[in-house]
Amino acid sequence: MQTLLRMLYPPRCLICGGLVESDFGLCAACWRDTPFLSGLACATCGVPLPGVSDRAEHCDACLATPPPWREGTAALAYRDNGRTLVLMLKHGDRHDIAAAAAVWMAARAKPLAGPGTLVVPVPLHLRRHLRRRFNQSALLAQGIAQALDLDWCPDALRRHRHTPVLDGRGREERFRTLSDAISLDPKRGGLMRDRPVLLVDDVMTSGATLSAATEACLAAGAGDVCVCTLARVVKDT
């Protein structure tokens, strides 16, 4: 049966659709153009840093203005195929991409998670959720929780009011627009109390959304918050 299915539906590259060896894989050319983050990175925001180090290092931005979460990481840089994958996931209902991305993210997030960690996606506003039909961050959170054998909750956090699309807005404006926009869903009561939380989102730009979500978790009594995104914006140096 498996063999028959393989003949009828051979595995395809997530990006270009070319034939590949295994499910949820990338062909050699697409793999080469996918900027996986490895090596030294800021322990808080995941931005790549030059050199090597055997202790936690922090970028200048995080030293100047530490984000509210404890540690953070990302699987990809948000450019080339890193950007392509995020956009395909966001706008294309691509559960196959979410499955692969969650495995990459779980590998990065593993050191940030303990046995009692609760995996929580950053919420979309309901209206946007209805338009897009699914929250891509919830799919990622589910996959990460499965890979790391952790509990997860798709709707622990919610957005109060509709926030405008923030692409192209300045850093200050993003933070102002988003503060107080996210909180624990009251029906989730003491879910996070004294528990470590791993927040999951598709892409980190300024960190404003993740900051608002972190504040909401801490206000709900979370013991400690770490963040993991599929991609993060990396400025050219």
State the angle between helix axes of 95-109 and 80-91 in degrees (0 to 180), rounded to the nearest 10.
130
> d(Cα 47, Cα 74) in Å, to the nearest integer?
8
206 binds Zn ion, rule: CB under 5 A: no
- Residue span binding Zn ion (CB under 5 A) among the ranges 20-28, 121-129, 171-179, 213-221: 20-28
197 binds Zn ion, rule: CB under 5 A: no
Residues comprising the chain, all counted: 237
Tokens of 25: 């894989």
| Shortest Å distance, C-beta 233 to Zn ion | 12
156 binds Zn ion, rule: CB under 5 A: no
| Shortest Å distance, C-beta 19 to Zn ion | 9
Q: Mention every residue, 6+ apart, whose C-beta is less than 8 A from residue 110.
A: 148
H or E element in which residue 228 lies:
strand 224-232
Nearer to Zn ion, 34 or 183 (CB): 34
Within residues 30-69, the interface with Zn ion by CB under 5 A covers 30, 42, 44-45, 59, 62
Q: Establish how many alpha carbons lie within 13 A of residue 9's alpha carbon, considering only the half-sphere containing its beta carbon.
A: 5
233 binds Zn ion, rule: CB under 5 A: no
227 binds Zn ion, rule: CB under 5 A: no
Q: Mention every residue, 6+ apart, whose C-beta is less than 8 A from residue 65.
A: none
Nearer to Zn ion, 56 or 126 (CB): 56
13 binds Zn ion, rule: CB under 5 A: yes
| Shortest Å distance, C-beta 41 to Zn ion | 8
Nearer to Zn ion, 104 or 152 (CB): 104
8 Å CB contact between 135 and 95? no
| Shortest Å distance, C-beta 28 to Zn ion | 8
Counting DSSP H helices and E strands in the chain, the numbers are 9, 7
Nearer to Zn ion, 45 or 226 (CB): 45
H or E element in which residue 80 lies:
helix 80-91
Tokens of 181: 């926009």
Nearer to Zn ion, 16 or 103 (CB): 16
139 binds Zn ion, rule: CB under 5 A: no
Nearer to Zn ion, 45 or 101 (CB): 45
In the complex, the residues that contact Zn ion under the rule CB under 5 A are 13, 15-16, 18, 27, 30, 42, 44-45, 59, 62
